[in-house]
Structure 1
């Protein structure tokens, strides 16, 4: 059974997701359609890239990933198709695939070129048609032509300060638990941390009193290091861990955005606010 994933900024209030899925089921009834997310912030290709990055490697070969964030075709961006890691990615050439794939070598890049043949289709219908075609093992050459390269987008990357003692990163995503996901990757951190002790700070946090975080836990409950206290008593304590996608995450233990508050709300951190790791000698 073939798989098509959907990622969009449509939300779930409107009929858009249901209509898109219905069209896919009509075009490729044997395909399984799986949602990655429909809660991407409007037109936020960096957030969409982060979410797809965390999910796509778990899918089998020949999965088709349809990305419907800022997907309109216009004079500045065409529709593109990429085959990478034996999977297909369909999107507008707005920089999202450059963000998603980073510096990885892209095996095959194509520009979708069936718009005239599907003149009665709008952009969404055309992309759904392409996704269904690939899900049915259709040839890429029927819907696209080779393209030299993708549009470049400069992603906010974590950097090492000139003095070599600090990593400067930023907040790039807030999950449904209100945790702060940063652009500091584990492999980047490990390459400089070695045996150094360190402190993680949020310079623009609007709530004082958090201080700094001086260790990274493997599991959330590892914050409860003193066995004299029950684990629940550590609720709302700040912590840091690398999430399953390999990005540093700042959280508060058992934070709840709807009740007690979570890292984002309690600390007042906003998108792209700085996160600094200072290494001690």
Structure 2
């Protein structure tokens, strides 16, 4: 069962039906809340959100996944939360705020998936992890007293996550919904004799993370990015010579285009969303 905090003040609980998933949390372990945003760190937004959370649950452990998502890039946020949340213990609460529609009619939602709890806007940012248990956050007794139209990270998502970490079940936040927005990560597609993939993300080192998997390459392949051919698949970055472009299966399981000790993205002049072509002799499809 969710742990209970004896200092928790009484709140109005949203009535809900049975049949929902119960998250089992080991009460001997400190509760964790992660934060993933496009806020950056030059402004006080992230610090303010943490202050709100700590005011509700002072003993929680706060973990920053990243605040350097490209501004408004919902797809990048969806990719990052999909590839990171599983490294945290079950019961962790994840706040994901990339919210270009803040203050509009878009819904704030909470979800339960794979033993974790998620809080964020209903704009597709949770697409990669949503299963079938999501709730429209309407119970404003868990919001800050004054809710602005421009900073729901502070006024809605941070306090809701704090209360959920203290033991409030997500079912109490509002009615269950089934029409939540999904923007699935793009999948490679076959066009004649070639496979067309997409750049999902460029990391800090300039590695170009694609939506290709090892099985998409076959035994022999040519990847064309910005017109340049890449035919070498390395097991690690150090296998390539400095300055050499190559492909590697990255830590997320996706194929990356890398430049040993350099930025492949800068050399190729590509960014998220760029098209990648693969010509392959044999691949599994």
TM-score of the superposed pair, with normalisation by structure 2 = 0.81
For residues 84-103 of structure 1, the aligned pairs below 5 Å read 84-98=113-127, 100-101=128-129
> Taking structure 1 as reference, are residues 71 and 126 closer, same or farther at Cα in structure 2, changes over 3 Å only?
farther
Contact 2:138–2:174, Cα closer than 8 Å, also in 1: yes
Q: What CA distance in whole angstroms lies between the structure 2 residues aligned with 1:7 and 1:134?
A: 17
Deviates more, 1:14-23 or 1:82-91: 14-23
**Unaligned segments of structure 2, at least 5 residues:** 1-29
Structure with the larger helix share:
1
Contact 1:8–1:39, Cα closer than 8 Å, also in 2: yes
| Count of aligned residue pairs for this structure pair | 248
Per the TM alignment, residue 90 of structure 1 is displaced from its structure 2 partner at its CA by 0.8
1:236 match:
243
1:199 to 190, 207, 222: 222
Contact 1:5–1:36, Cα closer than 8 Å, also in 2: yes
Per the TM alignment, residue 21 of structure 1 is displaced from its structure 2 partner at its CA by 1.0
Q: What CA distance in whole angstroms lies between the structure 2 residues aligned with 1:276 and 1:132?
A: 45
TM-score of the superposed pair, with normalisation by structure 1 = 0.82
For residues 1-281 of structure 1, the aligned pairs below 5 Å read 1-70=30-99, 72-98=101-127, 100-101=128-129, 106-115=131-140, 118=143, 120-122=146-148, 123-124=152-153, 125-153=155-183, 155-161=185-191, 163=192, 165-184=193-212, 186=213, 189-190=214-215, 192-194=216-218, 196-202=219-225, 204=226, 211-223=228-240, 234-255=241-262, 262-280=263-281
Q: Deviations over 1:26-51 (max 9, x none)?
A: 11111101001100111101011111
Contact 2:122–2:180, Cα closer than 8 Å, also in 1: yes
Contact 1:66–1:89, Cα closer than 8 Å, also in 2: yes
Contact 1:238–1:252, Cα closer than 8 Å, also in 2: yes
